[in-house]
């Protein structure tokens, strides 16, 4: 008795994913000649006009129009930290130097090269003409009106009063210590560590100058956002078991860790 082999056609296998090129319209933030204090004040004023418009907004940072000595350009981690602190989502950088690109990669940003820009030229044009543009004004050569925010002191800073909603405290070049509570809607920034001897309900951004070794310490964690050198977590991503406890926050292998004290 002879047997014959029966060929069975392979079953159709469903695709797990598909990669497809497409064009997206992304807002572009062009950085011109400006200092960080004025940039922060200008950005804050724009966001206050329409906070919902900027929340979770993806953003491309264009450095091609900035002069090499621009403070915002030389402190890219600080700029990224500010944008993330305001709830925006920096997507990538274009027009930067090799040093900017290296810093951008360390912060988890995409590098938008010329080939990508040519491919998405139509989308970029639509953004600039149909959407509100986040353009920062060039530095003025003549006298200018004082910025709304008080110029932060250089070095470590100790604040003994509660930091209330809408207030911003920045320790440039050092640590920041708050011997009181930090209300929801308040913002703490420091180039070094941040120490909070009370409840943290606002935002805390340490290592603003790119210091990966900076840490945040607080007696009661209820933060809206915590960030170390641009690496951040919002309240929804903070473990529930850490809420309300004394903790320290630090980076390990570029991953933000929250550990009970």
Q: What distance in Å separates the CA atoms of residue 223 and residue 249, rounded to the nearest whole number?
A: 12
For residue 161, name the pLDDT band (cuts at 50, 70, 90). very high
What per-residue confidence (pLDDT) applies to 80?
Answer: 78
| Inside any domain, residue 111 | yes
- Residue 81 and residue 169 in one domain: no
**Digit-coded pLDDT (tens) for 247-259:** 999 999 889 999 9
Reported confidence tier of residue 145, pLDDT bands at 50, 70, 90: very low
Q: Are residues 197 and 102 in the same domain?
A: no
pLDDT tier at 114 (50, 70, 90 boundaries)? low
User: Which CATH number covers residue 231?
Assistant: 2.160.20.70
Give the separation between CA 20 and CA 195, rounded to whole angstroms. Answer: 47
Based on the domain organization, do 108 and 172 belong to the same domain? no
pLDDT at 237 over 50: yes
Condensed to tens digits (0 to 9), the pLDDT of residues 172-211 reads 889 999 999 999 989 898 989 999 999 999 999 999 888 8
Lowest mean pLDDT segment, chosen from 66-80, 103-117, 133-147, 159-173? 133-147
Do 122 and 170 reside in the same domain of the chain? no
pLDDT of 67? 65
Token readout for 96 is 């930067």
Q: CATH number for the domain including 83?
A: 3.30.70.260
Write down the pLDDT at residue 156. 83
Q: Do 40 and 123 fall within a single domain?
A: yes
Do the domain assignments include residue 91? yes
Residues 47 and 109 in one domain: yes
Task: Judge if 169 and 244 occupy the same domain.
Answer: yes
In a domain, 4, yes or no: no
Q: Which structural domain, as residue segments, surrounds residue 242?
A: 157-260
The answer to whether residues 124 and 177 belong to one domain is no
Q: Structural domain tally of the chain?
A: 2
pTM above 0.95, yes or no: no
The per-residue pLDDT for 203 is 92
Residue 163 and residue 205 share a domain = yes
Give tens-digit pLDDT for 47-81.
776 666 677 778 888 888 776 655 555 677 777 77
Tokens 């550990």: give the residue. Answer: 259
The whole-angstrom separation of Cα 32 and Cα 90 is 17
Q: Is residue 170 part of a domain?
A: yes
């Amino acid at each position: 008795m002879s047997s014959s082999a029966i060929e069975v056609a392979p079953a159709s296998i469903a695709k797990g994913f598909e990669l497809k090129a497409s064009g997206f319209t992304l807002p572009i933030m062009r950085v011109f000649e400006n200092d960080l204090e004025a940039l922060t004040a200008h950005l804050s004023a724009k966001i206050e006009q329409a906070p919902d418009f900027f929340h979770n907004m993806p953003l491309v940072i264009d450095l091609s129009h900035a002069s090499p000595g621009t403070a915002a350009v030389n402190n890219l981690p600080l700029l990224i930290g500010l944008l993330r602190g305001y709830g925006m989502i920096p997507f990538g950088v274009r027009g930067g130097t090799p040093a900017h690109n290296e810093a951008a990669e360390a912060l988890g940003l995409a590098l938008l090269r010329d080939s990508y820009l040519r491919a998405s030229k139509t989308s970029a044009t639509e953004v600039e003409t149909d959407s509100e543009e986040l353009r920062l004004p060039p530095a003025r050569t003549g006298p200018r009106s004082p910025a709304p925010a008080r110029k932060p002191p250089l070095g470590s800073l100790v604040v003994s009063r509660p930091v209330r909603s809408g207030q911003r405290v920045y320790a440039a070049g050092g640590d920041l210590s708050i011997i009181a509570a930090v209300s929801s809607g308040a913002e703490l920034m420091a180039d070094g560590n941040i120490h909070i001897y009370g409840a943290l309900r606002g935002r805390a951004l340490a290592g603003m100058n790119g210091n990966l070794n900076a840490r945040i310490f607080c007696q009661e964690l209820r933060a809206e956002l915590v960030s170390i050198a641009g690496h951040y977590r919002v309240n929804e991503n903070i473990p529930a078991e850490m809420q309300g406890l004394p903790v320290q926050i630090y980076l390990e292998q570029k991953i933000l860790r929250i550990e009970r004290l």
